[in-house]
Amino acid sequence: MKIAYIFDPANLHSTTYSGVVRQGLTWASGLLAEGVTVEFPVAHETFDWSTCDLVHVFQYGSWAEAIIEAVKRYDIPVVLSPIVDRSTPYGWRGRLIAKTPFERLGLRQRHRTLSNLMQGCDRVLARSELEKRSLSDVSSDPSNIDIVRIGIDCRPDLLGAKVEKSPHVFHMSHLNQERKNVKALIEVCENSNVPLRLAGKVSDAAFSAWLDAKCRENPKLEYIGTISEDQKWEEMGKASVFCLPSLNEGIGLVALEAYTAGAHIVLTNRTGGVEYFDGDIEICDPASNVDIARCVSTALSKPVHNGPRLEAMKAFSNEASVARLLEVYQILVPGHNETLVADTRS
């Protein structure tokens, strides 16, 4: 089976880390182990779509319209992962806008574009219940939307043996992005006298200067910069709590990793992936520092979880995610499962 993964062309020119691209690459590595080949054509370059059994488009925009139209000429199934990171579903306004034919006036509107793209695809994938509700609001056929949870790419040896826990909060992200709400987290920990370690990229000079000053003022605040994969798992293993107080967050992949490493988790009610944790997290209102502080305090007061959560490693694994993904693909490409069995026997 051969699949083409298509990403928004903006990813080619962005210097910012893309969780969407990482998701695609992680799935591709897992699919390869199942005998599926994944290619990554560039959206605006010529490609022979007839060589593919299925095409999977990630994100959405007017750039995807011509691709889907070209693929459908060969009667090849198309899967769309729109990646909608909303804190609330679109609701009735989204439904109304999605039905308005702006294109007849030579205009474009993103909800309408999304609705049209979903209608032209054979399956639409959501990563969470929240994302599915959002997509259902602008879809002409909500029954065509499947949830495929994303997984983490973690080898057991990366987690290592049990490490001594430290009663501090850890956070890792693109720190100066406003939606990550890092300034609020710093203020909460400072007012609560809670040690906080920060890691990740800073791409704004003014924020960098501000953060340096805050670290000098507060010995319990540390910024350790960008870190390696090994360092990331070490930090997550040591931290008692990982807090991701985002104003909006699609899933919070890094929170899944921290939970697997053994940290207690604080997320917000504007995060799509809360159901991944089966209730074993603290959920706060990111607009309220008081509520963030309450959840951080509750998480810190929980019994320390020494060592990684092996059950979470299995549940959040890329293998589990790919198995669910293959279920969707196999519906669209009948006979693929039999081909895999034959390849394995040979």
- Secondary-structure class of domain 2-151+317-345 per CATH: alpha beta
CA distance 26 to 118: 24
CA distance 312 to 200: 24
**Cβ neighbours around 174 below 10 Å, total:** 15
CA distance 74 to 140: 24
Distances (CA, A) of 239 to 6, 59, 115, 202, 300: 37, 33, 42, 21, 10
CA distance 135 to 86: 10
Coil/strand/helix, residue 304: coil
What Rg do the C-alpha atoms of the chain give, in angstroms?
22
CA distance 199 to 171: 6
| Both tokens assigned to 163 | 């490490």
Least Cα distance to 68 among 123, 127, 12 occurs for 123
Our measurement of the distance from residue 171's CA atom to the centroid of its chain's CA atoms, rounded to an integer in Å, reads 16
| Both tokens assigned to 152 | 């983490």
The DSSP secondary-structure symbol of 10 reads G
Residue 79, φ and ψ in degrees, nearest 5: -110, 140
- Beta bridge partners of residue 124, listed in sequence order: 80, 145
Q: What is the pTM of this model?
A: 0.85
| Both tokens assigned to 81 | 């992962």
- Sequence-separated (6 or more) residues with CB below 8 Å from residue 172: 198, 199, 200, 227, 232, 235, 254
CA distance 56 to 68: 10
Distance in angstroms between the alpha carbons of the first and the last residue of the chain? 16
- Residue intervals of the chain classified under CATH 3.40.50.2000 are 2-151+317-345, 156-310
pLDDT digits (tens, 9 = 90+) for 115-150: 999 999 999 999 999 999 999 998 889 999 999 999
pLDDT digits (tens, 9 = 90+) for 309-330: 989 989 999 999 999 999 999 9
CA distance 296 to 278: 19
* CATH number for the segment(s) 156-310: 3.40.50.2000
Encode the chain (346 residues) as per-residue pLDDT tens digits: 999 999 998 876 555 557 788 889 999 999 999 999 999 999 888 999 999 999 999 999 999 999 999 999 999 999 999 998 876 667 767 667 767 777 776 767 788 889 999 999 999 999 999 999 999 998 889 999 999 999 987 767 766 666 789 999 999 999 999 999 999 999 999 999 999 999 999 999 999 999 999 999 999 999 999 999 889 999 999 999 999 999 999 888 899 999 999 999 999 999 988 999 999 999 999 999 999 999 999 999 999 988 889 899 899 999 999 999 999 999 999 876 544 443 433 3
CA distance 38 to 18: 19
